[in-house]
Chains A and B, each alone.
Chain A
């Protein structure tokens, strides 16, 4: 079973890299999806550069979301911060339910076009899974463990860093992984405000009725998301095993 999964991984990664590095070699594959002799492979920009740019945007936004969401999650599970829970929840929920495209529309007049509004939209959209998971992770630390930690003389800070966060880590990492992977797909909207990414391949395809372009943009994004999800799962497993956390 594991061998089959590894083979699939290698094949998927291989296919993705092959396409990004030598896109024209796939021309014949995409040709049936074009009409009237339109170019089968996106030629208005380097696909590899676009893919990396999108990945970069996603990672940057995810780093910011993680920092803020985990921080908020820790805050609202402290006795002094418990009263901020409803407010935090509301803000984070708004970030999720407010369509990213709408966030873009609001952010552009404020910060201009390109990377900045895209980061804002992805940041807001990515908060919810991380926040909720952090909260649940911290709340489900066994009471006896917390009691013992306090009873032995750990300060609140030591308890948080040595006991609560390590034990909540699997759930927090899970939340970050989820948020990151959803972001990969969402990041395509950045192209509507001139951010560099695979969205422009899809949009070019929509504008010129070129299904091949749409497929390329979608498939590369999808493959990136799946491979990232898989890689992060493996990393998570290894990190947790090393720290003796299930």
Chain B
């Protein structure tokens, strides 16, 4: 699994490749904490090359989401693989933030 965070002024792009499971969810949390501690206002997430995501990782994402919007941030999944798209729809996460299919 590989996570990349690119920041440009107040916007960031977080790209995840491979399997985001319980083992590596802390790495996701670490990157999301970086976003929270910065002046980033807009976070785009690219899950197109993410094969699967565990509930632990989704939990980290949602904990971040709560903190991020409370400080005025906006988050969007700019593209994702079909399994992730279906999973986010199933869990109704697309009602919290925009989730685009890749």
Q: Do A and B bind each other?
A: no
